[in-house]
Amino acid sequence: MPKIKCVGVLTSGGDSPGMNAAIRAVTRAAIYHGLTVKAIYHGYKGLMEGEILPFVTENVSNIIQRGGTIIKTARCPEFHTPGGRRQAYANMQREGIDALVVIGGDGSLRGARAFAEDFNVPIVGIPATIDNDLCGTDSTIGYSTALNTIVEAVDKLRDTASSHERLFFVEVMGREAGFLALNGAIAGGAEAAIIPEYVTEKDQLAEYIENGFRKTKSSSIVLVAESPETGGAMGVAERVEKEYPAFNVRVTILGHVQRGGTPSAEDRILAGRMGVSAVDALLDGQRNVMIGIDNDTIVQVPFSQAVKKNKPIDNMLMDALHILSI
């Protein structure tokens, strides 16, 4: 395999807190090993359109505490076409980029996998998504910060829920995964979590209301994953208003506020470790792998395993929430 001299780094898909810390780690680790670094702006779209600039240490100074991504991100349907990937590869060759580090979530790593298969490009992925839905890693960059944002919001909502004896349905992000809703409910002291892995039926919802709201508490907070399977917080609230009209129901949708903000210490440390490990993996001749964390140990996960659908929820977490909500 040809020696790697230049590494390209890009962020793709939805932004998440800690992406900048990962960019910083990749850049500084590559420079430490004598490599040159080129930043690709606006993700795969920028790779296709040639938005590529050299990066040195100064480019990543004072960014570890910033949310979002300094090299921007974008969705790029064109990259999913063979012609789009050919155009991206041509730009990569012209810029002298020998390998890529892709920082992003499920869709980003699927794109990386297709690109690597088409052109035999060495690519290492770094999981950065608040959804925490990638297999092979205990946590993804941004998940910790988003969870803290949710808990802070729930703590504040608890005050008004108690004051007015209301039932609050709080919608959180997560797409097809319920990690934010479930762990946010446990950490925030919520009474229940409605997640796509355990779609709540009428009798379950009735149990939440009867046992958690009517019998023992003057107020309740239920976290709802935004997934179509759950119907979202608005859908669940509408069902309650029809079936239990006596309850004072309110809905709060946290939305994109979950993606922003200063990354937590946990996310900064995770990004730093993964960024350094991504460069090490490339220098060791690894390709088509995602850097993961398993029981506090860095691991390398094949793209094919990382993007498997439906990362499982630990059933013990749901049991714990049920016990703690009594």
Cα angle 24, 309, 171; round to 5:
75
- SS3 assignment, position 225: strand
- Kindly give the pairing relationship between strand 289-294 and strand 123-127: parallel
Residue in 131, 133, 296, 319 annotated catalytic:
131
Is-catalytic flag, 131? yes
φ and ψ of 146, to 5 deg: -60, -40
Tokens of 217: 């508490």
Q: Which are the contacts of 150, defined by CB distance < 8 A and separation ≥ 6?
A: 170, 172, 180, 184, 187, 188, 223, 254, 258
Nearest to 186 by CA among 201, 172, 202: 172
φ and ψ of 216, to 5 deg: -120, -10
Query: Active-site residue numbers?
Result: 131
